[in-house]
Structure 1
Amino acid sequence: MSSEPTSPPDFVRSRDLWFDDGSVVLIAEKIGFRVHKSQLALRCEFFQDMFGLPQPENEESGAEIYEKCPVVRMSDKAEDVADFLRAIYSLSTTPYTHIQNECGKYFALALETNIPIILPAVYFAATRSPLEEFLNGLDDASDMRTFVIGQERLRQAETKYVLSFLGSEFRRPSCQASNDSAILTRTAAAALRNTTEDEPYHQWCSDHPTEVGRSLSLCNNCCTTITNAIEEGQKKVWKELPGFFGLPDWEILQAGTSSRKSGNGTVKLRFANFRWTRLQSGIEDLYLTI
């Protein structure tokens, strides 16, 4: 039978990540998280390996026990552990919104943990944020230059691919309204005039592909044709996104990440791998609407 400590715990329970039926207690910076081994093992290779080994069951065998749960002391920041756990338990905010609000922080952490595959998504989210806010978080002049040049390349690509439906060569074979062509011609002219707005037209179309046709009062067939064209354009932009910011293509970035995951990285690195994968896929799903 495992023995329980008689002295008060040296940690404070997390307010939202302490489950009474949890089977393990994680402690980071004197914050305790009572969670479930099965959830951790399912989502993180580090914990899968840890819990796959025979575990001591009492203090005499070297185990630290709290309320009949094994205790795992983490060297990571409590904030990082909490973010990781909230992602597992779906308690966090939308990935895109979260990263958009803290682009500078994620950019720095991606460099620190050497996980470049998330950088394209961070750069992309930053282009949807106030320019000054992101640049203020960059210390290196070359990073600033990379972002500014990449932002312009992204703008050109979205204008070319996402707004292809405004080109004179674009075909709408099933159009049911004779005035749709005139509407699109006027829209193209307006799009050129608003390139300096806080939300340029190409960006709005990228973020709302299914609403574009209806917002112009086009016929149903044209709405569908334009939505399909925008989504195809988004895929082209996403495929080329790393190159806009001087990064190798997605396949090379993924290969580099996979090789790091196969190593004996720290807990922090493994947390980072999980968080980056989730954030990157969240942005990709929202942008590509797939």
Structure 2
Amino acid sequence: MLGARPSHSSAALLSAVVLLHVQAAAAVSFQVLVPADPLSAPLGGTVLLPCHLSPPLSAQAMQVKWSRPQLGQDVHVYLPDGSEVQAERYQGRTELLRDRIQSGTLALRIRNLTLQDEGRYLCDFQSNSIVGNATLELRVTSSGLDPLLHIGGYDGKQMNVTCLSVGWYPKLKMLWRNGHGERLTLSKEEKISRNWGLFDVSSSVVVTKHSDPTLICAIRPGSPSPEKVSVILISDDFFPQVSSWKVGLFLFLSVCVCLLFFPACYLWRVQRAKRKSSNLTTKT
């Protein structure tokens, strides 16, 4: 009887060790997969953050938590009993898609995106045999208005052309090109961040009568959005030129005036002298 006890204890110890190895093997054999590249979504829009186990395994009895560790925030948590906990600042905006939970997929949907929603999200699976997580990045974008062009600062030889656009996120690049696609040098550029985080941008170029008449203002967003472009054609009317025949006529008339001026002065002096002489004779 006494000799059987060590045998029973050894068996129990062996079973525990085997169980731990099985659990460790299970924990190692499963991966949590999320998109490797950042996800982009528009400000005020909706985004779906995918996350799943590989190979597929039911997560119905697990805890699955979406969080933002760098901010110390839990976003939305699924508990083993099937209940959910939603963070206060995400109330009414987040939803866990549970239709594929049996295959280990539990995506997070976020609606009415704000700029504060941008950043890294952690998808974490936990159970007695499964422990794993993965991080993905969300980028929020705002596509501003089409660029507006304004002409000003004309001094007879050159003028400033300004391009303006508002309501962008993240920061963007504003480029100028001529009709041949060549980059132009900016004379002034300004980026302004408004209180709610969006950016306004304006830049100017100097145009002379020798410049290419076609000006292209292009906005290249910092997000994977299409380029926005505005074009203006600077006609010769902005730089009035005096025709050669007009210059010739002006010179001819100037010479004629000079030629007539001197004889007229001479005749006036002669007539004045005659009047003086006549007045003296009359008095005598």
TM-score computed with the length of structure 2 as normaliser:
0.22
TM-score computed with the length of structure 1 as normaliser:
0.21
Which structure is higher in helix share? 1
